Amino acid sequence: MEQAKKRAQCVLMEHVGSMEYYQSPQQDPKQVFSDINFEALEGEVWAILGTSAFEVRLLLEIIANARPYKDGRCVLAQKGMMRKKRTILPHVYYIGSTNMLFTNMNVLEYLMYITAREQGDAAVRQKRILEKIMELNMGYVALSVIGNLTPSERSVVTLLVSLFTESKLIIWNLARLEYDERSLQAIAAICEEIRKQKRTLLFSTFDYQLIERCATHIAPLYDGRLLYTGTVEAFVQTWDHLSTIIQDAHITAIRHAIETAHSDYTVLERDQTLYVWDQEQKTDTYHSIWKLLTEHQLHPDSIRRHPLCVENAWKEIRNHHDLQP
């Protein structure tokens, strides 16, 4: 069998440390982040998650070459970067603002403007662009004046524009924005198109739904370190241990039965609701609890398996990090 072709490396960071430091009266200055190691390949969509908008933005600015870095090495699309050079490289499309586009044009006009150097009939090009807009679930903004769009809508349009550039690496650095369902559908379609074109997207966000629906990979940044780098699927499977949620008016009796039978489970009671974690994930926790309650003739009002999610995995990996000596 012929081996699958190895995907090209798009981003490589080795032991990178920031120029920026946190100052504290009682402690020595501390780098915002240090010893960052990260690799992204073509066709991957990476979510950079954090607790600080400043930190995730800074990391992506360094990757984009918009900010210098103090230590280590950073390579983009297999091309090296000068540490103190503050220039967006031609093979990088960097989105750091919602005001990058001409606000007096509508979306279709702007896309026609940036593709004006393409050879061929303009009417054919316009038809092709409009078909692509419709295919990406963005027909609702095609004829909208960019200046009349909300910041979130302009953000999505700016991401759409990246598809009509030749940049191999797209960096979408607007972590504070939130998106409605229609925008999420459009973003998911754009991300899928980026993957098909074997390009790479890195975006900063605090939106768990955006990560779950659009990203293939995740890199959570916390306390100056990347706590994990890998697929979103593996991240939630490894770190989300919340198994079962039980609701009942007499929840304390149920809690006592579970804690007596399973000392290895972590149980939290709150407002007549019981949350059960299996940190070891040795068994099918949900069915074990169901069987236990049946044997004790305990019939809660509600018992459900908790689906794996980024939000819980993110909380648990931070808690694990905080407990380390």
DSSP strand pairing (45-50 vs 36-41): unpaired
CA distances from 93 to 158, 162, 200 (A): 10, 7, 10
3-state SS record for 5-60: CCCCEEEEEEEEEECCEEEECCEEEEECCCCEEEEEECCCEEEEEECCHHHHHHHH
For residues 275-280, average pLDDT: 84
For residues 289-305, average pLDDT: 90
Lowest mean pLDDT of 25-34, 72-81, 123-132, 224-233, name the range. 72-81
Percentage above 90 pLDDT, the chain = 72
Nearest alpha carbon to residue 163 among 107, 238, 218, 80: 107
Lowest mean pLDDT of 53-67, 79-93, 241-255, 279-293, name the range. 79-93
* All domains in the chain, ordered by first residue: 9-237 (3.40.50.300), 241-307 (3.30.70.1510)
Work out the end-to-end distance of the chain between its first and last CA atoms, rounded to an integer number of angstroms. Answer: 48
Our CA dihedral for 172, 173, 175, 177, rounded to 10 degrees, sits at -70
The pLDDT of residue 288 is: 87
- Please determine, for residue 279, whether its predicted confidence score (pLDDT) is greater than 90: no
DSSP 4: P
- Please determine, for residue 87, whether its predicted confidence score (pLDDT) is greater than 90: no
Alpha carbon 121 to its chain's center: 39
Confidence of residue 105 (pLDDT cuts 50, 70, 90): very high
What the block records as the tokens of 69 is 């870095």
The pLDDT of residue 110 is: 96
The pLDDT of residue 2 is: 43
Confidence of residue 26 (pLDDT cuts 50, 70, 90): confident
Lowest mean pLDDT of 95-109, 123-137, 223-237, 267-281, name the range. 267-281
The pLDDT of residue 262 is: 87
For residues 68-95, average pLDDT: 76
For residues 112-123, average pLDDT: 92
Q: Distance between CA atoms of 54 and 123, rounded to whole angstroms?
A: 44
Q: What is the DSSP string of 180-226?
A: -HHHHHHHHHHHHHHHHTT-EEEEEE--HHHHHHH-SEEEEEETTEE
What the block records as the tokens of 63 is 């990757």
Confidence of residue 86 (pLDDT cuts 50, 70, 90): low
The pTM for the full model equals: 0.88
- Please determine, for residue 297, whether its predicted confidence score (pLDDT) is greater than 50: yes
DSSP strand pairing (273-277 vs 266-270): antiparallel
Who's near 272: CB < 8 A, 6+ residues apart?
247, 248, 249, 251
Lowest mean pLDDT of 69-78, 86-95, 286-295, name the range. 86-95
DSSP strand pairing (225-226 vs 217-222): antiparallel
Q: Distance between CA atoms of 267 and 251, rounded to whole angstroms?
A: 12
Q: Distance between CA atoms of 294 and 287, rounded to whole angstroms?
A: 10
For residues 13-30, average pLDDT: 92
The pLDDT of residue 164 is: 94
Who's near 23: CB < 8 A, 6+ residues apart?
29
Q: What is the DSSP string of 239-283?
A: H--EEEEEE-TTHHHHHHHHHHH-TTSEEEEETTEEEEE-SS--S
For residues 122-138, average pLDDT: 95
Looking up tokens 């030749």, which residue turns up?
Answer: 166
The pLDDT of residue 282 is: 61
Higher pLDDT, 112 or 83: 112
Mean pLDDT of the chain: 91
Percentage above 70 pLDDT, the chain = 94
For residues 269-289, average pLDDT: 83
Q: What does the pLDDT look like over 165-222, one tens digit per residue? A: 999 999 999 999 999 999 999 999 999 999 999 999 999 999 999 999 999 999 999 9
Looking up tokens 């409605």, which residue turns up?
Answer: 180
